[in-house]
Structure 1
Amino acid sequence: MKKNLINLAGVVMVGASVLAGSAHGQTSTQPKAQTSTQTEAYIKKMIVENVGSGAKVDSVTKTPYGGLYEVRMGNEIVYTDEKAKYVFVGSIIDIKGSVNFTKQRTDELNRVNFADLPLDAAVKYVKGNGKRVIAIFEDPNCGYCKKFRHTLQGVDNITVYTFMYNILAEDSVTKSRDIWCAPDRSKAWDDWMLNNKAAPVAAAGCVAPHEKVLALGKKIRVTGTPTVIFTDGSRLPGMVDIKALEDKLTNMKSAPVALK
């Protein structure tokens, strides 16, 4: 999507520091009779027409930042003026650099209702009292996921729900199915991720929740592995070190989760 936007005729791309200055210097040339709804519809139409028929604009919203409009397309947020003449690609940051408004907005859009996750489709692992809860999307062929599993060995009093999100290789589905159908799923997953010890071949009649997890990941826009989902609905894409994980778990404010 970004490539298409960059190739738009007349597009001006600016970084966060330039964006702040140029945004405040804009003046509205849209007719006064134009309603907010009409302007947003017009912007959506112009973006779709110029990016191409494959573009899907999820929403157009006026921001409090210099008259700019937020255009959301899946996980991507860009900005434009009220005439959709320019597209601004980058982050909006306050003048002191202490708040990244674009990141705040992206985090808000990516927030997950943890209680709605189908935890019965995940491999459950409990260490210590298990009071701290996370969910992880991992692929059995993901090298960073394997490194992160080693990191988790140093975290105590935690419950981990692992959704085997098979997106990296053709045999990911087979490996995940063998693990899911093993007598002890949690042990089989750790055996593979920590020690490269494959699970026994699954019985022919055993069905793993591959399609269910794949649909879930697409629905909540999980685009890579590992992706950690916390009980407050926030997420951390990619591998994180033990300090960052502990800091997040310690400082997080969320209601207790009823374990299944």
Structure 2
Amino acid sequence: MRTFKHGAWATLMVTGTILVSTQIVAQEEGSASAIESKIRALAPAAESIAISETPIDGLLQVQVNNEIYYASSDAKYLVIGRIMDLDTRENITDQAKAGLRKDVLEGLDRSQQISFSPSAPDYELLVFTDIDCGYCRKLHEQIDEYMAAGIAINYMAFPRAGIASHSYDKFVSVWCADDQQAAITLAKTGAEPEPQQCENPISKQYELGRELGV
């Protein structure tokens, strides 16, 4: 019968642990690579794909642009839906999406927004707005009150009727106006803005709003 000294046994255990850990990492990397390859085949136009772990063994989170999906670790199944923690009642998927939204919003170009702001705002709100939306118009009627309270309102375009709509055309005209603040204020009263065309971010903002679930 072969015996081991404590030192040799400890070394063997540590070595075994390292080998197992290395194998697990290799398996996870292999799974992520296989999943990404299949997602690329399904969505070749995807700008970004990121694979990460979830609290569920055998299930990985798949971020495609600003959307969250799930895939089995064998890269065989794709799951569309949400994960709920029944003990804590937490929505794991919403938490992941909130993190994505935060990253996206922090990276936005402020010069691509129409802003109404006091000189030194205490708070800032990013608002995806539709010129023809009743609630949006109501908010704009109170724009002076928001600024008096130290709140900046930063508008981005979200014509709910879509890109091929009159609401979209109105927003393009507002964006291309010499005075964007005056133009959007007038348009939100129901008046027709003077038709104008120029390079603009309206379609990109609309698509971003859709991706973020506006």
Aligning the two structures, in what range does the TM-score lie when normalised by the shorter sequence? 0.5 to 0.7
1:138 deviates by 2.5
TM norm structure 2:
0.65
What is the rounded CA distance, in whole Å, between the counterparts of 2:176 and 2:53 in structure 1? Answer: 50
Deviation, structure 1 residue 42: 1.7
Match of 2:35 in 1: 43
| Superposed CA offset, 1:54-111 (max 9, x none) | 5747122232322311122233322222213333332222232432211111111222
CA 1:136–1:87 in 2, change beyond 3 Å: closer, same or farther? same
Identify if the C-alpha distance between structure 1 residues 143 and 209 changes in structure 2 by more than 3 Å, giving closer, same or farther: farther
Choose which of 85, 99, 102 in structure 2 pairs with 1:94. 85
> Cα offset for 1:213?
4.7
* Partners of 1:138 and 1:163 within 8 A in 2: yes
Q: Aligned-residue CA RMSD in angstroms?
A: 3.7
CA distance in 1, matches of 2:24, 2:158: 50
1:72 aligned residue (63, 87, 90): 63
Equivalences, count: 187
Correspondence for 1:222 = 209
How much does 1:129 deviate?
6.3
Tell me if the contact between 1:141 and 1:168 (Cα under 8 Å) persists in the aligned partners. Answer: no
Corresponding residue of 1:190? 185
Higher RCO (Cα < 8 Å, 6 or more apart) = 1
Quick one: structure 1 residues 97 and 33, their matched pair in 2 at CA, closer, same or farther if it must change by over 3 Å? closer
Distance 1:34 1:77 in 2: 24
Specify the structure having the higher radius of gyration (Cα): 2
Q: How does 1:115-194 map to 2 (within 5 A)?
A: 116-126=107-117, 130-142=121-133, 145-149=136-140, 155=146, 156-165=149-158, 167-180=162-175, 182=177, 184-193=179-188
Question: 1:23: which partner in 2?
Answer: none
Cα distance in 1, alignment partners of residues 35 and 105 from structure 2: 34
SS of the residue corresponding to residue 110 of structure 1 reads: helix
Q: Deviations over 1:201-238 (max 9, x none)?
A: 55xxxx6451x4544665xx3217xx8xxxxxxxxx54
Q: CA deviation at 1:159?
A: 1.5
- Find runs of 4+ consecutive structure 1 residues off by over 6 angstroms: none
The alignment-based identity, stated in percent, is: 21
Aligned residue for 1:222, secondary structure, equals helix
Q: Using a 3 Å threshold, how does the CA distance of structure 1 residues 86 and 113 change in structure 2: closer, same or farther?
A: closer
Rounded Cα–Cα distance in structure 1 between residues aligned with 2:25 and 2:103 = 39
Structure 2: gaps (5+ residues) = 1-22
Preserved CA contact (<8 Å) 1:179 1:189? yes
Conserved in 1, the CA contact under 8 Å of 2:171 and 2:202? no
Q: Name the structure 2 match of 1:60.
A: 51
Distance 1:48 1:183 in 2: 43
Distance 1:85 1:144, change over 3 A: farther
Which structure shows the higher helix fraction?
A: 2
Change (3 A) 1:106 1:177: closer
Unmatched tracts of structure 1, length 5 or more:
1-30, 228-236, 239-260
TM-score by length of 1: 0.55
Equivalences for residues 101-112 of structure 1 within 5 A = 101-112=92-103
Find the residue that maps to 2:171 and give its secondary structure: helix
Q: Secondary structure at the match of 1:111?
A: helix
